[in-house]
Amino acid sequence: MRHKKLLTAGAVAVALVGCATPAPQPDVDALFRQMMAASFSDKGIAKVDRLQQDATDAACSQAAGAPLPEAQAQALQAANLKTVRLPADGQYLGDWKAGEKLAQDGKGMSWSDKSTAPSANGGSCYNCHQISAAEISYGTIGPSLYHYGKTRGVTDPASPTAQPVVAYTWAKLYNAKAYNACSTMPRFGHAGILDEAQLKNLMALLLDPKSPVNQ
């Protein structure tokens, strides 16, 4: 009888231990990758390789909106700054009128667009920024660009005193993550969204004293 009681007590103990053992946790990352692979496919010019993150995007995704550690942010920004290609002819500004049209154009990079040169894409700047005083509707995700060059003292973009602002603006447009690792601004040059001529036109829109941005 005593033997049976011991066996029964032992069985209860094993059962309790079994109940206390947590169930195996699923590999959330693996499940997420499976879901993404099953949900997306190549369609037109929109390829699934857009889902692949580089080290910068991966770090920002992992942070989930929290600031990156300063050392990590600085390292990622330095790496992105190295990707910036300067204008081949040394000229940074193009035509501000073409730049204004480009800033107002949101076309490009959709699956239904034809596979043509990047010049078919727009800048879609108005979606995130105020561009000129004439606009009555504009995005507020990013800071206002109205008086961008004027407030930075750029009266002559070709002058030596303007060069730090010119260089910064070019790099910001080319690869915004060079100055803010987790910036949500498109990396226009780095990602091949806009070509060099288009970037120059946006530069003129921002820095040319005659541009409506600086009026």
Contact 211, 145 (CB under 8 A): no
Q: H/E element holding 167?
A: helix 163-174
Nearest to 211 by CA among 118, 102, 63: 102
Distances (CA, A) of 108 to 1, 16, 74, 116, 192: 83, 61, 31, 10, 11
What pLDDT does 50 receive?
A: 79
Which tokens belong to 124? 């879609």
What percent of the chain shows pLDDT beyond 90? 65
Summarize pLDDT for 164-174 with one digit per residue, the tens: 999 999 999 99
Residue 143: alpha-carbon gap to chain centroid: 15
Question: 96-214 falls under which CATH superfamily?
Answer: Cytochrome c-like domain (1.10.760.10)
Other Cβ atoms within 10 Å of 97 Cβ, number? 15
> DSSP per residue over 62-73, as a string?
HHTTSPPPHHHH
Lowest pLDDT segment from 55-59, 75-79, 114-118:
114-118
Contact 166, 157 (CB under 8 A): yes
Summarize pLDDT for 172-195 with one digit per residue, the tens: 999 999 999 999 999 999 999 999
Other Cβ atoms within 10 Å of 48 Cβ, number? 13
Which tokens belong to 131? 């561009």
Q: How many residues does the chain have?
A: 215
Q: H/E element holding 32?
A: helix 28-39
Site of tokens 């107002």:
104
Nearest to 165 by CA among 102, 128, 214: 214
Query: pTM for the full model?
Result: 0.82
Q: Give mean pLDDT, residues 59-83.
A: 97
